[in-house]
Amino acid sequence: NLGIINIPVNVIVVYSNADENISNAQISSQIAVLNDDFRKANNDVNEVPTEFEGLAADSEFSFTLANTYRYADSRTSWGTNNAVKSAYPPVSPETHLNIWVCNIGGGILGYAQFPGGNLATDGVVCSPQFFGTTGYVQAPFDKGRTMTHEVGHYLNLRHIWGDGRCKQDDFVSDTPSSDGPNYGCPSYPTVNCRTNDMTMNYMDYVDDACMYMFSEGQKVRMRAIFAPGGARESMLP
Ligand code: ARG
Ligand code: ZN
Ligand code: CA
């Protein structure tokens, strides 16, 4: 048992205008959401339906802001092809989670790299409008959950529907199978593949206010990469 695993975070802000040069307050609001969501300290966890109550996990990860870097750049959208990472390389990716905050464009909120990939592109990217809970944020993605979702990917989680039809697994046994993402704020129960979807899971595609849990199985999968030989073992002190 590794106890609480602390992840030091570097935030790399790349901006083309004053709005995108988000405040330190906006950055700390995002770190606070990560600390709440990965410790089951989020104040909406009480909305988890009884069926899934016993599965809502304290994932036992904490996050501390290590360094903030700010770069002015005339580019106004960066896409999802890691261009921002080549322009502004990650700092100590073997021990730190690097988060680039820049306008991605194309309606994309954020994207992440799974563990085990190239260190030069390791980390997560988020558009400033969907980062944190204060400042330059835009409803309905203004509760910091884009980063909770992307850090879930960074820690090896798949989308809850497994990115395929009912039989496509997300490699987590306590998340019910589904055949596609849910959007907006679904009512409970939402039935797909003959079972109730866990629409309130951070790894679905619902609005920020409508996602509020990781499952125990997802916790086990995230923490497994910190075991000896695991893809993120090097992050442990
Ligand atoms: N990678 C997903 C996207 O950009 C993130 C979805 C996050 N969902 C949310 N409610 N914040 O579409
Ligand atoms: Zn995703
Ligand atoms: Ca599952």
pLDDT in tens, 145-199: 999 999 999 999 999 999 999 999 999 999 999 999 999 999 999 999 999 999 9
The bound ligand whose nearest atom lies closest to the alpha carbon of 138 is 1
Helices (H), the chain: 24-37, 50-53, 83-87, 145-154, 216-224
Residues, beta carbon < 5 Å, ion ligand 3 = 170, 172, 175
Query: Is 150 a residue of the active site?
Result: yes
The bound ligand whose nearest atom lies closest to the alpha carbon of 177 is 3
What is the signed CA dihedral for 58, 62, 68, 72, rounded to 10 degrees? -20
CA-nearest residue, atom 4 of ligand 1: 109
Check: CB of residue 210 under 8 Å from CB of residue 184: yes
CA-nearest residue, atom 9 of ligand 1: 146
CA-nearest residue, atom 7 of ligand 1: 146
Residue 3 backbone class (left: φ over 0; alpha: ψ -120 to 50; beta: rest): left
- AA identity, residue 34: L
pLDDT in tens, 118-133: 999 999 999 999 999 9
The structure tokens listed for 69 are 């870097």
State the pTM of this model.
Answer: 0.98
Measured in Å, residue 177 CA sits from the centre of ligand 3 at: 5
Residue of 109, 113, 114, 147 with the most ligand 1 atoms within 8 Å of its CB, for mutation: 109
What mean pLDDT do residues 43-55 have?
98
Which pLDDT score, from 0 to 100, does residue 82 have? 98
Of the candidates 53, 150, 216, 233, the residue annotated as catalytic is 150
What mean pLDDT do residues 74-95 have?
98
Atom of ligand 1 nearest to the CA of 140: 10
At 1, is the pLDDT very low, low, confident or very high (cuts 50, 70, 90)?
A: confident
